Amino acid sequence: MKKWSIAIPILVLAVAIFLIFAIRGHWDSWKSNAALQKTNDAYVTGDQIPLSTRVSGTVQRVGVQDYQLVKAGQSIVELDNSDYQASVDEAQAAISAAHAELTANQDAKRAADANIDAAQASVEQAQAAADAAQAGIDASQAQVTQSVSEYQRQETLLASRAATRQQFEQVQEARDAAQAALQSRRADLVRTKAAVASSRAALAGALQQRAALNAKDAGLQAQIAAKTAGVTIAQVSLAYTKITAPADGRVGRLRVHPGQLVGAGVQVVDFVQDGAWVEANFLETQLAHVRVGDTADIKIDAYPSQILHGHVSEIAPASGSATALLPPDNATGNFTKVVQRVPVKILFDGKPSGDILRPGLSAEVTVHTDPQETTEATPSATAH
């Protein structure tokens, strides 16, 4: 009896030690194979956008109240746009003036083209006159040669009394007339050549003027491009005087009021976009069978009697500590193993009724996994 009184406690202690080691060695496996993976480290979150000014000015109008629901494009804050509208008008006037100057330059180019055509015609006309004068010289030279020859013949005949004095004088007059005509043709040729040179100089001037107009044309077009960009910049600055909601959502507390002078970059209000989701931080030992598409039950702490439904949308590529601003350095020698948490994005199935989802609310999430399907798929995936 005494032996049993000693053996039973020893046996119980041995079984307890065995169970402790067994549970310790398989606890993570049992936990990861559970069909329901739960966590209360979960929060409602959403896109939170700080709306700020892009230009400076005086607040002229505030179109919403604190925490108001707004639609995409709804005016939230408007600044006094007088200066920016004047800049737009000035830029548009400058581009109109540039267009008018370009139009005038186009008219000048057409006039220059007409001058070039007229100068070209004048050159051709002067050249034709010069050619005619040269032809007249050639004809007059032939007449002079003939009249001189006739004069010499009549002079010989007169010396031998074979011709009368009257005949000789007639031939002499014809010779003088031919020589005078030749001199006149030569003078005409000099004048026509001068006219040709003058016409060609006028043509060169017209061509040079046309080239200058072409260069001015290019400069005006560059000015128009620059002034068009100036109009765009002025219009963009004018548009910045009106701050609108980028999407459907809700504004936070307004930080500016009518009459207040604000500078560029001043935050006027926080904006929370519709379409909240839940970020659930699961232990790394819970994610063995969690997959994208798994269904989830969501309980918001603020509404404990209402269970919402959703599904796993994304699983973060790294744990929260790995993406922290100051990640832990486990190579320092002071290492303590800590189970890490990995963010999992849970999207709601459909839009929850009522305005109940606000970023920052605490939640509890239960993900329905299928460990059996995952376990069966693993060998084939490994073999493949």
Over residues 233-292, the pLDDT tens digits come to 999 999 999 999 999 999 999 999 999 999 999 999 999 998 899 999 999 888 888 999
Q: Which residues pair with 244 in a beta bridge?
A: 75
Is the pLDDT reported for residue 169 higher than 80?
A: no
pTM of this prediction? 0.63
226 and 124 belong to one structural domain: yes
The pLDDT value given to residue 143: 67
- Confirm whether 308 is domain-assigned: yes
- Confirm whether 357 is domain-assigned: yes
Q: Identify the burial level of 17 via C-beta atoms within 10 angstroms of its C-beta, where 0-12 means exposed, 13-18 middle and 19 or more buried.
A: exposed
> Under DSSP, is residue 63 helix (H, G, I), strand (E, B) or coil?
coil
Tens digits of residue pLDDT in 9-61: 776 676 666 666 555 544 455 566 788 889 999 999 988 999 999 999 999 99
- Confirm whether 249 is domain-assigned: no
Q: Is 161 left (phi over 0), alpha (psi -120 to 50) or beta?
A: left
Name the percent of the chain lying above pLDDT 90.
36
314 and 181 belong to one structural domain: no
Chain centroid to Cα 156, Å, comes to 101
Higher local confidence (pLDDT), 371 or 167: 167
267 and 301 belong to one structural domain: yes
Higher local confidence (pLDDT), 162 or 298: 298
Q: Which residues pair with 278 in a beta bridge?
A: 44, 346
163 and 272 belong to one structural domain: no
- Confirm whether 146 is domain-assigned: yes
158 and 290 belong to one structural domain: no
The pLDDT value given to residue 162: 60
233 and 97 belong to one structural domain: yes
Compute the average pLDDT of residues 207-235.
Answer: 86
> Under DSSP, is residue 99 helix (H, G, I), strand (E, B) or coil?
helix
- Confirm whether 148 is domain-assigned: yes
How does residue 380 score in pLDDT terms, banded at 50, 70 and 90?
very low
Helix %, strand %, coil % of the chain (to 5): 50, 20, 25
The pLDDT value given to residue 157: 63
Chain centroid to Cα 198, Å, comes to 55
Tens digits of residue pLDDT in 91-110: 999 989 988 988 888 888 88
Q: Which of 182-186, 227-231, 346-350 is the least confident region? A: 182-186
Higher local confidence (pLDDT), 287 or 170: 287
**Phi/psi at 191 (5° precision):** -65, -40
Tens digits of residue pLDDT in 343-377: 999 999 987 765 778 899 999 999 998 755 544 44
- Confirm whether 247 is domain-assigned: no
- Which CATH number do you get for residue 56? 2.40.30.170
The pLDDT value given to residue 328: 73
Compute the average pLDDT of residues 121-136.
Answer: 73
How does residue 216 score in pLDDT terms, banded at 50, 70 and 90?
confident
182 and 207 belong to one structural domain: yes
233 and 124 belong to one structural domain: yes
The pLDDT value given to residue 165: 65
Out of 22-36, 70-84, 186-200, 355-369, the most confident range is 70-84
Given 191, 212, 239, the domain boundary residue is 239
The pLDDT value given to residue 382: 33
Is the pLDDT reported for residue 294 higher than 80?
A: yes
186 and 261 belong to one structural domain: no
Mean predicted lDDT score pLDDT of the chain: 80
Q: Which of 67-81, 101-115, 160-174 is the least confident region? A: 160-174
50 and 152 belong to one structural domain: no
- Confirm whether 4 is domain-assigned: no
69 and 94 belong to one structural domain: no
Given 239, 273, 305, the domain boundary residue is 239
- Quote the crossing angle between the two packed helices 165-239 and 82-159, to the nearest 10°: 170
- Which CATH number do you get for residue 215? 1.10.287.620
Name the percent of the chain lying above pLDDT 70.
74
280 and 143 belong to one structural domain: no
Given 186, 206, 239, the domain boundary residue is 239
Q: Which domain holds residue 67?
A: 33-76+256-325+336-378
- Confirm whether 3 is domain-assigned: no
Amino acid at 303: Y
Domain count, the chain: 2
- 324, two tokens: 């922290």
- What whole-number distance in Å separates Cα of residue 358 and Cα of residue 223? 53
Longest Cα pair distance anywhere in the chain, in angstroms?
A: 199
Q: CA dihedral in degrees (15, 19, 21, 25; nearest 10)? A: 150
- 41, two tokens: 């480290």
